[in-house]
Amino acid sequence: VWNEPDLFGGWKMNRGKNYTTLYSVASRAANGVNSAKTFKIGGPATTGFYTAWVNGFYEKLDSSVRIDFFSWHRYSASVDDFVEDAETAKKLMERQIARSQYLYITEWGVNPERGSAYDGRWAAAHYLAVNTALSKTAIDLALAFEVLDGAPGDEQYHGGWGMLTNPKYGAVAKKPRFAAWEMITKLTGNQLPLVGEGSYVSALAAKDPAGVARVLLVNYDERGQHTELVPVTVTGLMEGTYAVTEKYLSGRSLTTDVVPISGNIRREVSLSASEAVLLTYVKQ
């Protein structure tokens, strides 16, 4: 209900233009619609995660008012900021779990302002690093802003928030963040355990229903300076030959045939600053 009420509209928590009143009226109205399709309703989608809004909202919200999720926005180059929000939210919400079962970041990015970073690979690495970090928290949904450059600038690449360029300039072009999104969507099936993440390199791994294992590695730091040589060992593989593909965020790709040794495939992957790679293991 609403978007950034602390910024747009001058809403306050339980004083003046009372957001709790706004939410209560909107929630009851939505919940009272006859023959409505299944939906979730929540809020407040503030500009950041503010403890005062959490406490004030739940202390005054009548228990009869439906709320399915608590939401906020976060823009920061620091991955730790996203994790700290998630951990604080989990602690604050533990006593509210019967009232709100989901935690949503309904808008996020590397910077709240437009800038050239959104057109480059650094923001794409940030996108992957945040997603890998949030996968280990209690966050249920995180929506990066935005899919398409909403307002055209002076040229195709003008630092818009979108993963795609505005069609004002002809064919819509994919930015590096879109490529990052494509990479992470390949991780389907069951998440696999992994160890060995570092200060700059984070990872996710999954095995799909067909038995294909995938490992996503991302090298991200706030200044975009570090190059990393990452050892990767996949264990528990069956005997036979595997086609191992390395698909990089920067666009290059290579495939080699590898035979596991004692069920293991080990390799070293060089990741330049703000680089990521998706490793795919397919048994031949």
pLDDT at 279: 99
- Is the pLDDT at 81 greater than 90? The verdict is yes
The domain of 194 spans 190-283
β-bridge pairing 141-144 and 102-109: parallel
Task: Give domain status of residue 4, yes or no.
Answer: no
One domain for residues 177 and 45: yes
Task: Give domain status of residue 266, yes or no.
Answer: yes
One domain for residues 173 and 224: no
Task: Give domain status of residue 53, yes or no.
Answer: yes
DSSP codes, 167-225: GGGSS--B-HHHHHHHHHTT--SEEPP-----SSEEEEEEE-TTS-EEEEEEE--TTS-
Q: Looking at residue 242, which CATH number applies to its domain?
A: 2.60.40.1500
Confidence category of residue 100, pLDDT binned at 50, 70, 90: confident
One domain for residues 199 and 180: no
One domain for residues 108 and 70: yes
One domain for residues 62 and 180: yes
Looking at the structure of the chain, the number of domains it has is: 2
What is the tens place of the pLDDT at every residue in 35-57? 999 999 999 999 999 999 999 99
3-class SS of residue 91: helix
Task: Give domain status of residue 75, yes or no.
Answer: yes
One domain for residues 25 and 129: yes
Out of 114, 149, 184, pick the residue that ends a domain.
184
Task: Give domain status of residue 103, yes or no.
Answer: yes
Out of 149, 184, 219, pick the residue that ends a domain.
184
Mean pLDDT of 154-162: 94
Task: Give domain status of residue 84, yes or no.
Answer: yes
Q: Which helix (H) or strand (E) holds 45?
A: strand 42-46
Find out whether the peptide bond into 44 is cis, omega within 30 degrees of 0: yes
Confidence category of residue 152, pLDDT binned at 50, 70, 90: confident
Task: Give domain status of residue 170, yes or no.
Answer: yes
Q: Looking at residue 36, which CATH number applies to its domain?
A: 3.20.20.80
One domain for residues 247 and 180: no
One domain for residues 180 and 211: no
Out of 184, 214, 241, pick the residue that ends a domain.
184
- Is the pLDDT at 238 greater than 90? The verdict is yes
One domain for residues 158 and 198: no
- Is the pLDDT at 6 greater than 90? The verdict is yes
Nearest to 146 by CA among 127, 133, 171: 127
Task: Give domain status of residue 269, yes or no.
Answer: yes
One domain for residues 179 and 203: no
